[in-house]
Amino acid sequence: MSNLEAILSRDAYLLSIEIRLFWLVALFYGICLILYIIHLITKKTGHGRIGTNILWLTAITHAGLILLRTFEGQRAPFQTLYESLSWFAWSASITYLYVERKWKDVYLAGILVSALSMGACFYALLTRSPAVEPLSPPLQSYWFEWHVILAFLSYAVFVVSCSIEISYLAVKPSVKKGLKLEYGLNMHNLETFHRQSFRLALFGFPLLTFGIFSGAAWANDAWGRYWGWDPKETWSLITWTVFAMYLHSMSIPKWKEMPASLLNILGFICMLMTFIGVNWLARLLGIPSLHLYAM
Amino acid sequence: MVRQAHHNIVTLSLSKGDVWKRLLPSNSVDLNPMAILKNIKDLNLQKIREAKLYRRFASLKTSIVLLGILVGFYILGTIFPQGGELEEYIEAGGRFASLVVFFNLLNIFTTPGFLITALLLFINLFICTIERLFVLLNQGIAKTEDLQFIPTHIFPLEINPHLEDALEGVREVFKKDLGFREQSSDPEMLDIGTDTKIIEKGWSYKWLTWIYHLSILFCFLGFFLTYLFSFEDEITLRPGEETIIKPAAISRWNRSWGRKPRELNFRLALQEFITEYNQLPALDYPGDKLSRLAVGMGWRDPKYLLKNESYFPKDWKSRLKVINLSPKSVIGEGNQAVLEKTIEVNDPLFYQGVTFYQAAYKQNLKIQVDDNPILLETETGKELIVPGIEGTFIFGTIRTGALFKRDGTIEKIRPFADVSFIKKDSAGKSEIEKLGKLEQDGSLVVDSRRISLKEFKEASILSYRYDPGVPILWWSGVFVLLAMSLRVFGAWYRIIYRIEERKGIPHLLLKIRIKGLMADEERLIHRLKYSLRKMTEPIDLDTPV
């Protein structure tokens, strides 16, 4: 066996381990989702707690998987959509787990987070190629790591913010009526829990701003113009604008309730459009995009 | 006081005509420049700020509504391909041709509707920034709700029985232990009493908020300069060639004045063009979902295959030389090479305000059919008809330069192109047949004819752009990010405190206000309690001083 053949054989072996591990991780995100749904139905904290413990285990395994991918590619593991979906699932889960530590026995927000993480993993596994490719010339830039890491961190934060917002909207009517709930939320902590959603969006906003500015600076170096109304660029601006509307509406007394909540959820939907939906939209409408590597 | 004045302003209801009559003196219709200047001087700023329209533009609700309208434009811009032609849109199955024409939906970001909305947002942001500045400059005497003193924490200072000692001690704790600074506000104006102190720690969140909003205004200025003065074009250069730069494009500003594009004051020479590739083995991996599940279950293994390997572009570079044509160039003489640089994607050349980018490259090749001395010329990716052969040839990108192999070795590529042959069947349907690799000086046989690649030439395609908006945009972007990050992630505290004697014991009464995600009221209280405990520890009389 030649040296080259030995290297290819090793690469294929590592890839097979990675794919199997990825399936396992996706499956465990699914188990977390089921446990959180049982918690929603039964109102028993035990299921939620087990779900969170398994989610910790899954996120740690997923971190190992991402490290393995980094070793395989000898570069940051978010060049292709396969890789960025994996990164998105992991960053959303780890952000949720970090935030959830402060909220004893409140697991409602875990439903959306584990559902998205599972969905992202299965979407990557079933529809994208797992081939490890070298960086194409436009991606060989010092902006690559910073732009993607911070933009995806903002995505993860917006996912958790939206999950909390939806949980709040779902539970609020019952809590306000004084009904007894067993999701760990009551009249005393409900608004503080909701405040967490705003704080997360506030945390994510400068990160998204950096993501857009760094993307523009990178485009200026690579393509010769900082803004070209490319669908991906435009949707990132839409997401930024909607979150700007949300944050501003939080300082208007009449708008800080339902209108602001809806804007937060809309911002999350726009974020999903920026990440995934725009690829589908560009293909559907035949709009050329310079972000082909992310499709 | 300013806040109270605002309330009165909002309740004023004036018609637009009334507003301008009040703002300007009665002789304001005089068009004499001196009279206009005098009128400007006589403008009453306070009255402008009282105007209903001005108040509308100073409103946060207006900002949100305008941002919402802009979102609508942005979404339209992603539904309709921007910069495209109507024919292309119709060919691609577009069904709203009449709407597209009427609303200019293929160039929506240059339509009056979009530009006016952006302008209104700029005015809104400008007025809000000005208003915020007034508030900030007057905040030292402003009587605002957050400066009213309703204590939320009370600590007894048991060991310090004298009020004056306690006051001094607490002051030291806040200043030295906790790093607070005293505010030089006038207590009487604040209606909090002379014995009440205001202290702060951290960067003022209000100023930070103001700075990043002001920086966003400067970003708008950058966009505006780009919109008016930028132009871009591209040049194609072969290795060894030198050219003058005469852009065909012209900025909007110059076009509106009827000016024509001007030749730039330097020439550009391409000394070398380099292409590099990575060896990319093909992955044998199933496309259908069940087979992928089988891989996941370990019933099947993925494999990397070399026989279907592809050449993955690693880099393409142009070694450029700038020749200054001005009589006095940088080094003193005209027609001198003043700059040499190898550019690549992500690493452009910047000279005299113009940036040159490695955009792409093109390849021309000469094909020999049998032993015919007349060579056929074509370009990679384009169809070539060879006399005597029914169908057309397409020559793919010629791979040449260096190949970086997976085992770490570097190999010089023997130039080759992948050749396809398009033939129409009896029904007129095109069939594409892959003929394989055609190496330089090698040949392929098609219909008993020998097709040989005799020579090829490469040319570097460089795009260039003049954009005076970029520096302003970058600098203001840095300020936006810095100020926003400090505002959001930082920690700002304001404490209003007073020491009162209650039942013979001095008590510290305080109210805390925090801003920023790093600000933690509990931690502050914890540290304060710890410092106060230290301060109130009994003096050990046995220890010699």
- Encode pLDDT of B264-294 as tens digits: 889 999 999 999 999 999 999 999 999 999 9
- Token code pair at residue A123: 């979407």
Considering only alpha carbons, which residue of chain A is nearest residue B301? A16
Q: How many domains does chain A divide into?
A: 2
Which helix (H) or strand (E) segment holds residue A37: the answer is helix A3-42
A130 and A166 housed in the same domain: no
In a domain, A108, yes or no: yes
Name which of A3-7, A129-133, A171-175, B335-339 the model is least confident about: B335-339
A197 and A97 housed in the same domain: no
Q: Which of A135, A170, A193 is the last residue of a domain?
A: A135
Integer CA distances (angstroms), A126 to A122, A273, B44, B249, in order: 6, 20, 68, 46
What is the per-residue pLDDT across B461-501, written as a single tens digit (0 to 9) for each? 999 999 999 999 999 999 999 999 999 999 999 998 888 88
User: Bridge partners of B351?
Assistant: B354
- Token code pair at residue A48: 């939620």
User: Bridge partners of B451?
Assistant: B369, B444
Q: Cβ separation of A206 and B313 shorter than 8 Å?
A: no
Q: Of the candidates B481, B484, B465, which has an alpha carbon nearest to the alpha carbon of residue B473? A: B481
B14, pLDDT greater than 50: no
In a domain, A71, yes or no: yes
What is the per-residue pLDDT across A186-196, written as a single tens digit (0 to 9) for each? 888 899 999 99
- Closest approach of B121 to chain A, Cα-based (Å): 12
Rounded to 10 degrees, what is the CA torsion of B247, B249, B253, B258?
Answer: 90
Residue from the list A22, A138, A229 with its beta carbon closest to the beta carbon of B77:
A229
In a domain, A142, yes or no: no
Considering only alpha carbons, which residue of chain B is nearest residue A21? B296
B382, pLDDT greater than 70: yes
Residue type, position B97, single letter: A
Question: If you average pLDDT over residues B121-137, what whole number do you get?
Answer: 93
Q: Cβ separation of A203 and B517 shorter than 8 Å?
A: yes
> Judged by CB atoms within 8 Å, which residues 24-63 of A form the interface with B?
none
What is the per-residue pLDDT across B306-365, written as a single tens digit (0 to 9) for each? 876 688 999 999 999 999 877 655 554 567 788 999 999 999 999 999 999 999 999 999
In a domain, A141, yes or no: no
Q: Cβ separation of B292 and A125 shorter than 8 Å?
A: yes
Q: Write out chain B residues lying below 8 Å of A138, CB-based.
A: 345-346
Q: Cβ separation of A245 and B285 shorter than 8 Å?
A: no
pLDDT above 90 coverage of chain B, percent: 52
Structural domain boundaries, residue A109: 1-135
Distance CA B115, CA B230 (A): 17
Question: If you average pLDDT over residues A131-155, what whole number do you get?
Answer: 93
B185, pLDDT greater than 70: no
pLDDT above 70 coverage of chain B, percent: 83
In A203-263, DSSP assigns E strands to none
B425, pLDDT greater than 70: yes
Residue from the list A129, A226, A249 with its beta carbon closest to the beta carbon of B283:
A129
Considering only alpha carbons, which residue of chain B is nearest residue A213? B477
Confidence of residue B42 (pLDDT cuts 50, 70, 90): low
In a domain, A113, yes or no: yes
Confidence of residue B184 (pLDDT cuts 50, 70, 90): low
B77, pLDDT greater than 50: yes
DSSP string, A81-95: HHHHHHHHHHHHHHH
A79 and A172 housed in the same domain: no
Confidence of residue B541 (pLDDT cuts 50, 70, 90): very low
Distance CA A228, CA A234 (A): 9
> Judged by CB atoms within 8 Å, which residues 116-135 of A form the interface with B?
125-126, 129-131, 133-134
Question: If you average pLDDT over residues A150-154, what whole number do you get?
Answer: 95
Q: Write out chain B residues lying below 8 Å of A245, CB-based.
A: 64, 67-68, 71
Instruction: State the best of B59, B60, B76, B78 to mutate against chain A, taking most chain A CBs within 10 Å.
Output: B78
| Cβ-based neighbours of A165, under 8 Å, separated by 6 or more | A194, A197, A261, A264, A265
Confidence of residue A3 (pLDDT cuts 50, 70, 90): confident
Confidence of residue B154 (pLDDT cuts 50, 70, 90): confident
DSSP string, B27-47: TTT---HHHHHHHHHH--HHH
Tally of residues, chain B: 545
Distance CA B90, CA B99 (A): 12
Considering only alpha carbons, which residue of chain B is nearest residue A73? B406
- Tell me phi and psi for residue A252, to 5 degrees: -110, 115
Distance CA B230, CA B221 (A): 13
Q: Cβ separation of B78 and A281 shorter than 8 Å?
A: yes
In a domain, A140, yes or no: no
Question: If you average pLDDT over residues A57-81, what whole number do you get?
Answer: 95
- Closest approach of B373 to chain A, Cα-based (Å): 39
A124 and A242 housed in the same domain: no
Distance CA B341, CA B352 (A): 15
Q: Cβ separation of A8 and B313 shorter than 8 Å?
A: no
pLDDT of residue B310: 81
Q: Cβ separation of B60 and A252 shorter than 8 Å?
A: yes
Could you tell me which residue, B216 or B163, shows the higher pLDDT? B216
Mean pLDDT of chain A: 92
- Closest approach of B359 to chain A, Cα-based (Å): 7
Residue from the list B346, B473, B477 with its beta carbon closest to the beta carbon of A138:
B346
Q: Of the candidates B501, B506, B543, B509, which has an alpha carbon nearest to the alpha carbon of residue B159? A: B506
pLDDT of residue B333: 55
Is residue A20 within 8 angstroms of chain B, CB to CB? yes
pLDDT of residue B355: 94
Q: Of the candidates B285, B296, B282, B242, which has an alpha carbon nearest to the alpha carbon of residue B266? A: B242
User: Bridge partners of B304?
Assistant: B283
- Token code pair at residue B45: 């700023």
- Closest approach of A192 to chain B, Cα-based (Å): 14
A83 and A113 housed in the same domain: yes
Q: Model-level pTM? A: 0.88
Considering only alpha carbons, which residue of chain A is nearest residue B407? A4
- Closest approach of B115 to chain A, Cα-based (Å): 15
Could you tell me which residue, B522 or B12, shows the higher pLDDT? B522
Q: Cβ separation of A206 and B517 shorter than 8 Å?
A: no
Name which of A157-171, A218-232, B58-72, B128-142 the model is least confident about: B128-142
pLDDT of residue B424: 81
Is residue A196 within 8 angstroms of chain B, CB to CB? no
Per DSSP, chain A holds a count of helices (H) and strands (E) of: 9, 0
Question: If you average pLDDT over residues A205-234, what whole number do you get?
Answer: 93
Distance CA B245, CA B265 (A): 8
Distance CA B375, CA B154 (A): 96
A281 and A253 housed in the same domain: yes
A210 and A70 housed in the same domain: no
Q: Which of A92, A113, A135 is the last residue of a domain?
A: A135
B398, pLDDT greater than 90: yes
In a domain, A280, yes or no: yes
A263 and A200 housed in the same domain: yes
Q: Which of A100, A135, A170 is the last residue of a domain?
A: A135
Is residue B238 within 8 A of residue B458, CB to CB? The reply is yes
Confidence of residue B19 (pLDDT cuts 50, 70, 90): very low
Q: Do β-strands B266-284 and B399-404 pair in parallel, antiparallel, or remain unpaired?
A: parallel
Confidence of residue B447 (pLDDT cuts 50, 70, 90): confident
- Token code pair at residue B249: 């494009």
Q: Cβ separation of A202 and B63 shorter than 8 Å?
A: no
A153 and A26 housed in the same domain: no
Integer CA distances (angstroms), A205 to A235, B87, B214, in order: 15, 40, 17
CB atoms within 10 A of CB A106: 20
Residue from the list A202, A225, A251 with its beta carbon closest to the beta carbon of B517:
A202
Q: Cβ separation of B81 and A235 shorter than 8 Å?
A: no
A153: left (phi over 0), alpha (psi -120 to 50) or beta: alpha
ipTM of the complex: 0.92
The whole-angstrom distance between residue A222's C-alpha and the CA centroid of its chain comes to: 27
Q: Cβ separation of A241 and B489 shorter than 8 Å?
A: no
A209 and A293 housed in the same domain: yes
Three-state DSSP class for residue B542: coil
Distance CA B356, CA B359 (A): 9
A90 and A22 housed in the same domain: yes
pLDDT of residue B1: 34
Is residue B307 within 8 A of residue B281, CB to CB? The reply is no
Mean pLDDT of chain B: 84
Residue from the list A7, A12, A222 with its beta carbon closest to the beta carbon of B346:
A222
- Angle among Cα B431, B433, B435 to the nearest 5 degrees reads 160
Radius of gyration of chain B (CA): 37
DSSP string, B278-345: EEEEEEE---SHHHHHHHHHTSS--EEEEEEEEEEEEEEEEEEEEEE-SSS-TTSSSSEEEEEEEEET
A164 and A282 housed in the same domain: yes
In a domain, A216, yes or no: yes
Integer CA distances (angstroms), B358 to A149, B236, B318, B530, in order: 26, 10, 7, 62
pLDDT above 70 coverage of chain A, percent: 96
pLDDT of residue B161: 61
Q: Write out chain B residues lying below 8 Å of A134, CB-based.
A: 278, 280, 312, 314
